[in-house]
């Protein structure tokens, strides 16, 4: 029974009805008088699953039906409601959201309402109807259409063209760069700052600025002509309602539908042509636009003018405000770069990377590499010889990105640092030099930032170590998965450079690294509001090229002290593997204590609440294992842990992992259906499948597939 004030009976269609001992359901499709533009129709399914039903069979049947309907109507809003008893639809359709959180019978939630969009309804408990033993539920619509979820964004963008590249090349070709060096009087800060400001001014003079307004529900195939037809249809509708003649409205509606269909066809052909023309980036952006796959996070609202300062102080909470020690003067650094080195690095810059605080985008460095290589080679070499990094290269602008949909505290923001693209190129050159002089045997159990190493290797070594030991008599394995609190942000630069010297790095280069990590200016930008700058002397900025390498060198001496233990690292993911024989845990417990002492000495903060331990014991007789304590707190023991993207269990089977990857892959099948409905070719669909679905199913497959059962 449908209320005709909500939907005309002519717009209602029965799609599917099914009845069996395990499940009964009825599915209808309707087009209400009012519907948000992002939905083509509403598909409602009423469900009843008896208490004695086989829930697996019931869910399998409704899953099959809903998948077919999603393929046929990919832009419809799906609502599934009814008495589910023990069944849970999210186990089969994880992208559907359950909106009823209050008990409906005897303290249990037996009645469910699912939809394929978040925050659709607010459920309010009401008394049961008549003699029913189920409470009734009032569902109040809480969904906001996309147009109202976010305000339109007005952005100022630079309109780059081949002509602007040529003009800048000609401009920089005729500049006497020596005058900047002479005027700086050997002051590296003045030299780099004046050159950067000049380049930035030239960009502002040559490249035009355009203001673009984007709407949250805007599709790339909607242009000005379609918007004009949309306005014409609205005008014709209003006039038709006033005069009673809807002929003009019908003609405008037909014209609009025809224009949209043609625009979609043209956009589809454009995406296909980008693939054929090897423009994979353009094609991928087109596929994302069609499917809304991995949408960008909503920008942080700038209503609170104090939020930037709060976030800046929070992100800098590990700063102890101590003045960095002055290093003794050393000989001039022997490391120098040639113009050819710098030119090659500039030409490899991603032109679409965001500019840092200096306002110089990567496109300029790439297009004008021949013209700018000389002056920046001189700046880089002067910086190395003085063991000083220009202040303008050390500035960072932090753009906070929400980690989740609803932000409740400052820790729910992830800091994304925008640093100078020029400095990134400089760092890349220094990084290549440092990497080339490090011994191949350095820290063999650090699997990150090393050539020919990956998460597959780290997982395989961990499992091989454990399984080899478990083959022996009266043995078991304890795995401690360490979690650090902002590991990169707690590095003490003075301790780092001491370790770099022990590794054989030039003392002058060590002083350069110390200067690179200290005296860093940082601001937080939220919308149009910018915080007060803070000067940081602790930590390695995560937005910098050198930071991962410096962190791995900082922790290279964190190694196991006992032969029966291993400390396996992948960046800041650290795992202690203790091989226990005859219930003797002495070496393992000493290892954990030694790791805690090492962390205190190196200023790394252990997050005990997120540190977990898993015990793998295949012995027939079950034993109670005493817990591990860190800093007086008991470490939680778990049966399963997600280690470098792979779920490892204390039984060392792969059911948990395979269930997880299949569930995640199923979530992305919906995007594949939308592309098929859009009319993309099988070749494009295959590429999308391999990139987004097959990549999940085959992730770290060399580590787990061989021992995976048929399940």
- Spans of all domains in the chain: 9-143, 665-702
Residue 244 has which token pair?
């009673």
Q: pLDDT at position 38, please?
A: 81
Q: How confident is the model at residue 570 (pLDDT cuts 50, 70, 90)?
A: very high
Using CA atoms, how far residue 546 sits from 28, 125, 332, 388, 435, in Å, is 58, 56, 21, 16, 11
Q: How confident is the model at residue 699 (pLDDT cuts 50, 70, 90)?
A: confident
Instruction: With CA atoms as reference, report the closest residue to 611 among 587, 595, 590, 600.
Output: 595
Q: State the DSSP code for 296.
A: P
Query: Does 84 have pLDDT greater than 90?
Result: yes
Q: State the DSSP code for 387.
A: T
Query: Does 246 have pLDDT greater than 60?
Result: yes
Residue 290 has which token pair?
């069609």
Instruction: With CA atoms as reference, report the closest residue to 550 among 474, 589, 508, 499.
Output: 499
Q: How many CB atoms lie within 10 A of CB 590?
A: 13
246-263 in b/e form (b: 16+ CB < 10 A) is eebbeebbeebeebbeeb
Taking only Cα atoms into account, the Rg of the chain, rounded to an integer number of angstroms, comes to 31
| Partner residues linked to 575 by β-bridges | 481, 568
* Stretch 379-386: mean pLDDT: 94
511, 327 in Cβ contact below 8 A?
Answer: yes
Lowest mean pLDDT among 46-50, 243-247, 276-280: 276-280
Distance CA 535, CA 311 (A): 14
* Stretch 93-97: mean pLDDT: 86
* Stretch 77-87: mean pLDDT: 93
How confident is the model over 171-204, as pLDDT tens digits? 999 999 999 999 999 899 999 999 999 999 999 9
Lowest mean pLDDT among 18-27, 122-131, 312-321, 334-343: 312-321
* Stretch 605-624: mean pLDDT: 90
How confident is the model over 643-652, as pLDDT tens digits? 999 999 999 8
pTM above 0.75, yes or no: yes
Distance CA 401, CA 415 (A): 6
> At 383, which helix (H) or strand (E)?
helix 369-386
Question: Does the domain spanning 9-143 belong to CATH 3.60.10.10?
Answer: yes
* Stretch 586-607: mean pLDDT: 93
Query: Does 370 have pLDDT greater than 60?
Result: yes
How confident is the model over 62-76, as pLDDT tens digits? 999 998 898 888 889
Query: Does 710 have pLDDT greater than 60?
Result: no
Query: Does 482 have pLDDT greater than 90?
Result: yes
* Stretch 504-521: mean pLDDT: 92
Residue 438: CA atoms inside 13 Å, Cβ hemisphere, count? 21
* Stretch 117-121: mean pLDDT: 86
Q: Where are the beta strands (DSSP E) in 142-190?
A: 153-158
Question: Residues with Cβ < 8 Å from 511, sequence gap 6 or more?
Answer: 327, 330, 387, 497
Residue 621, classified by CB atoms within 10 Å of its CB into exposed (0-12), middle (13-18) or buried (19+), is: exposed
DSSP string, 318-346: T---PPPPPPPP-PPP-----HHHHHHHH
Largest CA distance in the chain: 94
Query: Does 345 have pLDDT greater than 80?
Result: yes
Lowest mean pLDDT among 175-179, 334-338, 520-524: 334-338
Distance CA 469, CA 565 (A): 11
Q: pLDDT at position 329, please?
A: 57
* Stretch 644-672: mean pLDDT: 88
306-343 in b/e form (b: 16+ CB < 10 A) is ebbbebbeebbebbeeeeeeebeeeeebebebebebbb
* Stretch 667-679: mean pLDDT: 83
Q: pLDDT at position 325, please?
A: 59
Question: Residues with Cβ < 8 Å from 181, sequence gap 6 or more?
Answer: 191, 378
Distance CA 42, CA 472 (A): 61
123, 138 in Cβ contact below 8 A?
Answer: yes
Q: pLDDT at position 177, please?
A: 93
């Amino acid at each position: 029974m449908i209320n005709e004030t909500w939907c005309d009976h002519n717009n209602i269609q029965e799609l599917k009805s099914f009845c069996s001992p395990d499940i009964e359901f009825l599915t209808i499709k309707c087009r209400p008088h009012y519907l948000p533009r992002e939905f083509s129709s509403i598909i409602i399914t009423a469900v009843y699953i008896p208490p004695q039903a086989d829930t697996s069979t019931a869910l399998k049947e409704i899953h099959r039906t809903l998948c077919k309907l999603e393929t046929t109507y990919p832009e419809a809003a799906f609502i599934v409601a009814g008495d589910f008893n023990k069944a849970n639809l999210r186990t089969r359709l994880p992208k559907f959201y359950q909106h009823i959180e209050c008990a409906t019978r005897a303290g249990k939630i037996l009645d469910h309402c699912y939809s394929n969009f978040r925050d659709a309804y607010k459920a309010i408990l009401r008394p049961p109807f008549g003699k029913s033993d189920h409470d009734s539920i009032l569902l109040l619509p809480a969904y906001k259409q996309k147009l109202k979820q976010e305000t339109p964004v007005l952005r100022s963008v630079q309109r780059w063209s081949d002509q602007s590249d040529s003009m800048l090349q000609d401009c920089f070709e005729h500049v006497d760069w020596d005058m900047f060096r002479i005027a700086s009087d050997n002051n590296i800060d003045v030299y780099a700052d004046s050159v950067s400001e000049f380049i930035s001014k030239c960009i502002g003079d040559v490249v035009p600025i355009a203001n673009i307004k984007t709407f949250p529900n805007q599709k790339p195939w909607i242009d000005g002509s379609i918007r004009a037809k949309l306005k014409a249809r609205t005008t014709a509708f209003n006039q038709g309602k006033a005069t009673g003649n809807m002929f003009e409205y019908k003609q405008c509606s037909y014209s609009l539908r025809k224009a949209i269909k043609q625009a979609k066809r043209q956009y589809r052909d454009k995406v296909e042509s980008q693939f054929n023309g090897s423009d994979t980036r353009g094609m991928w952006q087109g596929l994302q636009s069609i499917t809304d796959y991995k949408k960008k996070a909503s920008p942080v609202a700038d209503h609170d003018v104090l939020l930037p300062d709060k976030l800046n102080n929070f992100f800098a909470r590990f700063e102890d405000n101590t003045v960095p020690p002055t290093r003794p003067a050393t000989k001039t650094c022997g490391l120098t770069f040639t113009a050819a080195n710098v030119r090659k690095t500039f030409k490899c810059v991603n032109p679409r990377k965001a500019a840092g605080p200096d306002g110089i985008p990567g496109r300029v460095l790439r297009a004008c590499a021949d013209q700018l290589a000389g002056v920046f080679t001189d700046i880089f070499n002067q910086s190395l010889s003085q063991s000083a990094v220009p202040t303008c290269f050390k500035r960072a602008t932090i753009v906070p990105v929400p980690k989740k949909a609803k932000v409740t505290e400052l820790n729910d923001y992830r800091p994304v640092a925008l640093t100078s693209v020029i400095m990134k190129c400089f760092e890349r050159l220094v990084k290549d030099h440092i990497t080339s002089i490090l011994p191949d045997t350095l820290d063999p159990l650090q699997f990150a930032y090393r050539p020919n190493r990956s998460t597959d290797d780290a997982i395989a070594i961990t499992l091989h170590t454990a399984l080899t030991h478990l083959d022996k008599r009266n043995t078991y394995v304890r795995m401690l998965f360490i979690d650090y609190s902002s590991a990169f942000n707690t590095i003490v630069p003075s301790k780092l450079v001491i370790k770099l010297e022990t590794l054989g790095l030039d003392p002058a280069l060590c002083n350069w690294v110390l200067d690179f990590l200290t005296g860093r200016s940082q601001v937080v930008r939220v919308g149009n509001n910018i915080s007060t700058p803070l000067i940081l002397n602790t930590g390695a900025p995560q937005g910098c090229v050198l930071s991962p390498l410096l962190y791995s060198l900082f922790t290279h001496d964190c190694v196991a002290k006992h032969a029966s233990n291993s400390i396996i690292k992948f960046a800041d993911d650290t795992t202690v593997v203790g091989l226990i024989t005859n219930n003797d845990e002495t070496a393992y417990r000493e290892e954990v204590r030694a790791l805690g002492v090492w962390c205190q000495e190196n200023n790394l903060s252990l997050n005990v609440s997120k540190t977990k331990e898993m015990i793998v014991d295949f012995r027939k007789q079950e034993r109670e294992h005493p817990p591990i304590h860190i800093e007086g707190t008991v470490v939680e023991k778990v049966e399963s842990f997600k280690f470098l993207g792979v779920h490892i269990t204390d039984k060392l089977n792969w059911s948990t992992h395979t269930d997880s990857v299949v569930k995640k892959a199923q979530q992305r099948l919906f995007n594949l259906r939308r592309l098929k409905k859009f009319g993309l070719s099988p070749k494009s669909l295959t590429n999308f499948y391999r990139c987004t679905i097959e990549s999940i199913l085959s992730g770290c497959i060399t580590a787990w597939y061989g021992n995976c059962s048929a399940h």
